[in-house]
Amino acid sequence: MGLLYLFKNMPTAVKNIFIINILFFLGAWISQEVLHYNMTYELGMKYFGSVLFKPFQIFTHMFIHGSFSHILFNMFGLLMFGSMIERYIGTKRFLILYLMSGLGSALLEQSYWAYRVSDCVGNIYPDKGLQHDVLNGFVSNSVCQDFIRWIATPMVGASGAIYGLLVAYGMFFPNSELMFIFIPYPIKAKYMIPGIILLDLFLGLSSFNWDNVAHFAHLGGALTGFILIKIWNQNRTRLY
């Protein structure tokens, strides 16, 4: 009964985004288990200079997730922050904030990939023949070991869009107290959210081998959310 009540009382945009993400997740699971087709890999965003890149991936990556825990945390963030924000600024602006944050996350992550690929082979658009050779296992000693990672590994998830909501929440409700899983006492949003972003920046710049999180995607979503809220606040138009 509690879950049904929660679902019925979700704001319109949050509810529809939630449903779309669940349908994509179930569709990807059925596709993998029944058809043996990796829908997650196909819809995840590849590097724009990769032979595996398709333009629709810039949009579809926001609605596809790699695991149950991945979608669980993102949908929790959507419900926790998105519901209050949509009620505060209205459905139209909420959709703009969510989708633009997701696209902003893709843009910054693509820029980071371009830097890494250029550093590896000296060009942001690697030769297609070289790419095919590397993807087929013919790795040249002159190509860095991470090259296949940059051209073949997809980015998936709604985290970039969620980070846009996270920043908006901190700007609208700075004194709201939040609980972090590893910290046993509440911290105000105006302190916790910048801390989370700084941690992402540190991890993104560190590029630890064990870390497969797209930290620059998080930062891109956060930056986009910040810019949008600043623009709306400066225009001083009535929120609707």
Q: What is the pLDDT of residues 68-119, one digit of tens each?
A: 999 999 999 999 999 999 999 999 999 999 999 999 999 999 999 999 999 8
Could you tell me the residue ranges of all domains in the chain? 2-235
Is 169 within 8 Å of 222 (Cβ atoms)? Answer: no
What is the DSSP-derived secondary structure letter of residue 81?
A: I
Cα distance between residue 112 and residue 223, in whole Å: 15
Is 168 within 8 Å of 97 (Cβ atoms)? Answer: yes
Compute the half-sphere exposure of residue 207: CA atoms within 13 Å on the CB side of its CA: 7
Cα distance between residue 77 and residue 50, in whole Å: 31
Q: What is the pLDDT of residues 145-195, one digit of tens each?
A: 788 888 999 999 999 999 999 999 999 999 998 877 666 788 898 999 999
- The token duo for 177 is 């107290």
* pTM for this prediction: 0.90
Q: Under DSSP, is residue 94 helix (H, G, I), strand (E, B) or coil?
A: helix
Superfamily name and number for 2-235: Rhomboid-like (1.20.1540.10)
Say what the pLDDT of residue 206 is.
85
Higher per-residue confidence, 2 vs 66: 66
Cα distance between residue 155 and residue 48, in whole Å: 12
N-term to C-term CA, the chain: 31
